[in-house]
Chains A and B, each alone.
Chain A
Amino acid sequence: MVDLQQRPRARPDATSGERLNRRGSLEPREPGRPRRSLVVALVLACATLMTLDHVNDGAAVDPLRRLAGEVYGPAESGMDTVVGPVLAVPHWLRSHRDLAAEVDALQSDNDRLRSQLASSDYDRNRLQEYDDLTATAESLGYALVPARVVAIGPAQSFSRTVTIDAGSRAGLVPDQTVVNGDGLVGRVLRTTATTATVLLVADADSTVGGRVGKSMKVGFLHGRGDLGQDARLDLELVDQSYVPAQGETVVTWGSQDGAPYVSGVPVGTVESVYSSLRETTQRAVITPFVDFSALDVVGVVVPSGTDSDRGVIEVDGSVR
């Protein structure tokens, strides 16, 4: 009896590592080799997750995404703050010739804009008169929350998204328009407390209602999924008989209640127009105003009077 109780225990890795093979004999398992059940379980977990995210627009996965965002969003913001000054160094190292050329370019731009401005007072007064007649002179009722891009999704994932450092505390909710100084950037997909994920209009899955500014013709803008200098958008015009001219400006056409896109945000200019008999639609290629590969400061369009943890730029330019 004593012997039985005092029997030395078998080494755990000697017995647990062995299992019966098909021929019914014991075969030792190599150390570090996973059990088949574990492999199957993890692969099935991946498949389940994909299925959950594929149906119902991923509503089941959103809490998980939010949780991961709450943890890793601040880390990404912090990392961006650390590496920002280092990456700005090349900006300070420029030749005198470059600076002179830039001053010349800005000077000529300035002169052109000044001449436009000279006639704008008259235009504005005329518009004011018309507005007084029609009594529709209301402010758009939108304000901008400023934010910075802290992370950019890799091209390997084939979805064009960025993280910005403003979240629900700054008054952001999903489906708000994101703009910058040049034009339309994208829309807010989901928010955490301190960060938000933005889908760029260059993404292959992004669709925006567009309007050719001169003729007010409407169409749908699709991204192509590439960023940088060769980023282009495709505009499918609803009216097939209309051919937009090269260089015409395309603005957003707007959605109901301004979600996800407010109206009148400049998107880009028409570069060329294709028409195909097979597709029975005309496709205009649009060069976007925004350089998606060099995004930094952006603004999120929020309703006027939103509670925010930072300064909100109101319609009249004042910071609240």
Chain B
Amino acid sequence: MAAVLAVSLALVLQASLFDHLAVQGVVPDLVLLVVVAAGLAHGSEVGLVLGFGAGLLLDLAPPADHVAGRWALALLVVGYVAGRLAASGRPRLAQWWPLSVAAAFVGTSVFALTGLLLRDPAVGVGELLRVELVSLAWDAGLALVVVPLTLALFARVEPDRVLV
């Protein structure tokens, strides 16, 4: 329940608040970071399922118009990877921050690759790389805020389910 709330809030913020603060149209992937936090807190199974659900929302909620299922696949991988790489014990900044950045890179890459395969919008590889770099910088910065907040939310709402 807390996860659904966090994902919904991230989705709305990503679409309606951060579009005013976008750098070259690129906004931070808040939903992706929430999925990373869920994977860190609850392990790879919850990360996998929540990533699939959150990606599905990203694919279907307006103003999305790309082929549905692409973000679902990307975030599913992100949640799983985050859960597998999560260290046991209390999460330390030196552990989860590089992990979040790596997961963000994996997620945006998977999304871009499916786009290339399906030729969904016909964009060049140069454009892909540019957008990827900008979004990675955004995610690295925002991970410092979003991931601890989401972890705190999970710890407060569902302390019995947290593995760490």
Contact = CB atoms under 8 A, between A and B. Distances in A.
Q: How large is the interface on A (under 10, 10 to 19, 20 to 34, 35 or more residues)?
A: 35 or more
B121 A158 contact: yes
B98 interface: no
B163 to A, nearest CB: 6
Interface in A139-186: 150-163
A293 B25 CA distance: 8
B107 to A, nearest CB: 9
A199 B135 CA distance: 22
Interface stretch (A1-9, A64-72, A105-113, A129-137): A64-72
17 contacts: A34-B44, A34-B80, A46-B73, A53-B67, A72-B15, A72-B57, A75-B8, A76-B15, A151-B62, A152-B63, A154-B15, A156-B111, A159-B66, A195-B62, A197-B62, A197-B63, A205-B122
A65 B67 CA distance: 11
A42 B63 contact: no
Interface of A: 31-35, 38-39, 42-43, 45-50, 52-54, 58, 61, 64-65, 67-69, 71-73, 75-76, 79-80, 83, 87, 150-163, 189, 192, 195-199, 203-205, 225-228, 293
Task: Point out which of B12, B16, B71, B80 has the most chain A C-beta atoms below 10 A from its C-beta.
Answer: B16
A296 to B, nearest CB: 10
Contacts of B43: 31-33
Contact of B52 (A45, A61, A189): A45
Interface stretch (B89-97, B112-120, B145-153): B112-120
Interface string B143-164: 0000000000000000000010
